[in-house]
Copies of this chain bind each other. A is one copy, B any other.
Amino acid sequence: MSSYDPSSFTPFAVTVDVVVLSAADALSVLLVERGIEPFMGDLALPGGFVLPSETLDDAAVRELREETSVVPADLAGVHLEQLATFGRPDRDPRMRVVSVAYLALTAARPNTAGASDAAAARWVPVDEARSTPLAFDHLEILDVAVERARAKLEYTTLAATMAGPEFTLGELQHVYEVTWGEQLERANFRRKVLSTPGFVEATGHRRRGRGGGAPAATYRSAGASMLVPPIVRGGG
């Protein structure tokens, strides 16, 4: 039984990389431009080394704060969860690096260019990001993140998080449509959302939604985090 034999310890570098997704006009990911080799000049996921005394979750939060002025420092309105771990021996040409990837979902926010010492993080539509060179295996990480996000919208209320603190049902539907790349029946979507206890609650306000038309009632997240039964893709 060789397990946990201290003499066989092999040193690794451990990093966290965060895939921050939001749904504006298009599903978008927050990327930074690498300033050093390897992959200097390429776009990359925000991330960095885990410090000796912090948890993996703490490292993800810290990297988001340091590299991302788009996300608020207290992470209010941001969902963060561990995604998967990537550790191919050759994924970093310099050394053996294992990266714990995180998925963050947040409401769309404007790009804040040149924010202090934070890297110039900016939103890039996922379709565009997938056709540009990304550093390391970040394309693979992005793909896993997008699929996880798509799946999670089905059975959780995270779409409300991505729609912001106050949203119309049209905006909430838009989050689903942009994330799934698929149109939904408006009337059925309304019925489903409004009949699911704890998904949304009315604010009592009205406001213009997306484009011209009548003002729509606004809603906010209610307490629930899971959707039973789920809202299904592929529509049937």
Residues of chain A having any CB pair with chain B under 8 Å: 1-6, 8-15, 32, 34-36, 44, 46-56, 63, 66-67, 82, 84-89, 92, 94-96, 98, 100, 117-119, 228-229, 232, 234
Q: Which residues of B contact A47 (CB under 8 A)?
A: 3-4
- Cα A1 to Cα B118 in complex, Å, equals 6
Given contacts A46-B3, A98-B98, contact A53 B89 (CB under 8 A): yes
Assess whether B15 is in contact with A12, with CB atoms less than 8 Å apart.
Answer: no
Assess whether A54 is in contact with B89, with CB atoms less than 8 Å apart.
Answer: yes
Assess whether B100 is in contact with A3, with CB atoms less than 8 Å apart.
Answer: no
Taking CB as reference atom, which chain B residue is nearest A62? B2
Assess whether A14 is in contact with B87, with CB atoms less than 8 Å apart.
Answer: yes
Assess whether A96 is in contact with B10, with CB atoms less than 8 Å apart.
Answer: no
Q: Which residues of B contact A12 (CB under 8 A)?
A: 11-14, 50, 98
User: How many copies of this protein are present in the complex?
Assistant: 2
- Cα A95 to Cα B11 in complex, Å, equals 11
Assess whether B85 is in contact with A56, with CB atoms less than 8 Å apart.
Answer: yes
Q: Which residues of B contact A89 (CB under 8 A)?
A: 52-55
Q: Which of A47, A86, A98 has the most CB of B within 10 A?
A: A98
- Cα A47 to Cα B2 in complex, Å, equals 9
Assess whether B10 is in contact with A13, with CB atoms less than 8 Å apart.
Answer: yes
Taking CB as reference atom, which chain B residue is nearest A101? B85
